[in-house]
Amino acid sequence: MLQSGLGLLLVFGILFLAAYLIRKFNPGQGFGRTGPLRVVGGLVIGTRERIVLIEVEDTWLVVGIGPGQIRTLHTMTKGESPPSAKDEKPFADWLNKMIERKNEPH
């Protein structure tokens, strides 16, 4: 029984070591911090929909991701904010007002 337990621990140890080495040295995972692409941020819209801000060299891409599709929504230079973003109220304020209006008795 002891010999079987030690053998099982050895097999699990080898599996974890192999998984660590594959994750550490896998060339396909080069994108990210060191590659040409970097995810700056993201926002979950629905259960399967997201909006992601991706940096490619000196360009930011706003990308919509849904089931089975990826679409570029907007392209801008790195660090640039949309001109109307400073003039508009934040979305959270608008959403809170709508929730308050809905909860008011008629």
Alpha carbon 2 to chain centroid distance?
A: 45
14-50 pLDDT, tens digit per residue, is 999 998 888 777 655 444 455 678 888 888 888 888 8
Alpha carbon 58 to chain centroid distance?
A: 19
Which residues are 69's β-sheet partners? 66
Model pTM? Answer: 0.46
50-87 pLDDT, tens digit per residue, is 888 888 888 888 899 999 899 998 888 887 665 555 55
